[in-house]
Every structure is written in structure tokens, then in C-alpha cells.
Structure 1
């Protein structure tokens, strides 16, 4: 079993301790000491080497976005999942732009939090389905396709392009596997390979790049 090291950054002690205790019951999750502020979060990120950071965006007078920026500068490989009471699409877009791979409401179940942590560790992610369309629209409106985006997509194998098209169509891994007649593990491998080739960190980034480069829902590779 591959263990995932998880750092919770939240200044609400009761919530953080309860979440830490609950996630600690998952056999594959190693829960690190909780960080209640930016200074502590950065110190633990450096010394404890988490795979995934579960980050609240409100840390007293400080902003969790500052943690996101600074952690991503020092540890670009770390995966950050936002877990917050905030419900603001613009802030969600800012977090994704700055490197977050997931966004969860504090009203979600601990089971879903654990599931998203695992997905993040495997280079996946999670955006609430009801917000995903608007998040993508705003990201796409910010800029045109990066220079060389089409050339990057050309480096993908035909099967990787099919998987990417399915992602653009909004399918999850199980649905992609069913459409393409593959196993879920094979879909995961193709997803990891295409993310590595595109030098991206999450499925959302891959979908955004693909759409900026001209791929659209409903097309067929």
C-alpha cells in the first residue's frame, strides 16, 4: 500500500483536530501535525514533505492563497486541495490558477475529502461539478492557448488524445474506461502519461489547455 502524507492547514482547532482524527483512520493516509497559520504551514511543508496539503483559505488575518503561492514556489510537486467554507467562484479560479488541484466545501463528507486526497496524490483533482463549467469558462477567457499548445497535444499518442477528449467531455475515469473499452487502471496510466507529457499537474489544467488549443466537448478523436 502506498501511503500518502497529508498536511492539514486550518486555524479552526476543533475542526482541524476532528478532520485529522477521521482521516487518520484511513489506512493509506499519514496525517501530519496540523498547521494553524502560514508560518507553521511553510515550516511543516519543508520538514515533513507532505504529498498533499489540505488548505483552508481563511487563516485568521492571513490568506491561504499566500500559503499556496509560497508552498508551490518551494515544493512545486506538492498537491494542494482547498477545503473551505468560502463559496466564491472567482476565488476558486484564483486558487486553481495558482496551483490548487481541488476545491471542497467544509460541508462535504470526510469520505469525499479522503477520496479527493487520493485523487490529488495520483495527479487528479476535484472541482464541484456545479462550478466546473464556470471555472473553465473564466480560465479560458483569461488568455488564448499557450504558444505551442497545439504542438504539445501533437506529442500525445492517439489513445492519450482519446482519453483527453473524454476528459474534455466531462467524463470521469470509470466513464472513460467504459467509452473506450479499457480498464480504470489503464485510463489512470494514460492520464498520468498525458499530464507528464504536457507538464501539467491536474486534469483541470489538461482540460483547460486542450480547450485553449481547440478541443471541444462532443468532438471525436
Structure 2
């Protein structure tokens, strides 16, 4: 099953994928709510979620809650640690980067269907670091009880990597004003006032 907001894209993917390898497309939907209803009706083994769909991560989370037996694959993911990590934490069993070919997409879907996953070494290292943090009780805790959201963690890492607000907006495919709002919240939660302090905070967390 495929969830994507753009009808032409959604139906084109369904036509191309149906019957390729072991894939049988049983339905499509244009939103998270429609997707959940379609999953309940068609009971697919896999759901391909276009991350460009509004609230793409929320769609993954919703499916994890309402249909935990269904494996989800995130489509069109920026292949960076924070972006992949956000999808995995939202419930994705696999991901397809923006630069992937049709053959890559088919292979990822078939691997996910078998309960397998592959990723580049640098992404694997990021995932393992996150698992280690969770296992050790270190979950990017801040002063007080607040925690950064997955999106805020993405932006924190991108700031630490030296990206400007405009570059972050382009990377995440969101409005510049949205990035500024997130950064305002990050500064408030971390009780800091500058980008250099964000980078220093990331280094401290990485050293834990």
C-alpha cells in the first residue's frame, strides 16, 4: 500500500510497482487518516509512506500505533543520521533515500517484507549510538524534564553541522519561519542563546 499526497505520483508509483518482483499494490491513500482506513480495509504487509506527505512522520507514528503488525517504509528520506533516525523512531522498518532508483526501491520493499534492513555504515553508526544512549538511560535529557522532539533533534544536528536556517529549511522541505520557530524552542529548552552553544551541547551529548 502507498501513502502519498500527490495523486499523479501516488498512482504512478502504484502502476510501476504493481507486479514487480513480489510486490502487489493493494491500495493507495493521500493522507494519514485515509491511509489508516485503507490499512484496516486491505490489511497489507507493507506500507510505503512518502515523507513529503504533510505530517509524514506522524503518519508513521499513527500506523505504528493502529497497525503494529504492518511494516512501514519511509520514501524520499534525506540520507543523514538525524533524518533516518527520526523515521526509525517514528516506526519505519526501512527507508528509501531521495536519490534511490526504482531498483533500490523494490529491493528495499522486498527486504522490509522479509524483516531485513540495510543502511550505510555512517547511518548505522548513528542508529547504534542512539540505541546505546537509550540502553544507558541517556536520552538527550535537558535541564528539567523537557526533551527535544525528533524534529528539534534533527535541527540541532544540522546546526552543529554548520547549516544556516535557510539551508535547514531546504534540507527538511519546510518554511524558513518553521525552522526559526523550532530554533527558538530549542534555545529555550536548552537554556542557551547561540548556535555555537548548540554545537557544544551536541558534542557533550556525543561524549556521554
Map 1:1-221; keep pairs closer than 5 Å: 7-59=1-53, 62-144=54-136
Once the 2 structures are TM-superposed, how far is the Cα of residue 90 of structure 1 from its aligned partner? 1.8
Query: Where in structure 1 do 4 or more consecutive aligned residues deviate above 4 Å?
Result: none
SS at match of 1:94: helix
Quote the Cα distance in structure 1 between the aligned partners of 2:77 and 2:95. 10
Quote the Cα distance in structure 2 between the aligned partners of 1:14 and 1:29. 20
| 8 Å contact kept, 1:68–1:100 | yes
Give 5+ residue unaligned stretches, structure 1. Answer: 1-6, 146-221
Quote the Cα distance in structure 2 between the aligned partners of 1:55 and 1:107. 16
| 8 Å contact kept, 1:32–1:48 | yes
- What's the C-alpha RMSD, in Å, of the aligned pairs? 2.0
Q: Which region of structure 1 is more displaced relative to structure 2, 116-125 or 130-139?
A: 130-139
| 8 Å contact kept, 1:10–1:56 | yes
| Pairs aligned (count) | 137
Once the 2 structures are TM-superposed, how far is the Cα of residue 130 of structure 1 from its aligned partner? 4.2
| 8 Å contact kept, 2:71–2:93 | yes
SS at match of 2:100: coil
Once the 2 structures are TM-superposed, how far is the Cα of residue 81 of structure 1 from its aligned partner? 0.7
| 8 Å contact kept, 1:55–1:64 | yes
Once the 2 structures are TM-superposed, how far is the Cα of residue 42 of structure 1 from its aligned partner? 0.9
Once the 2 structures are TM-superposed, how far is the Cα of residue 143 of structure 1 from its aligned partner? 3.4
| 8 Å contact kept, 2:77–2:95 | no
Once the 2 structures are TM-superposed, how far is the Cα of residue 79 of structure 1 from its aligned partner? 0.5
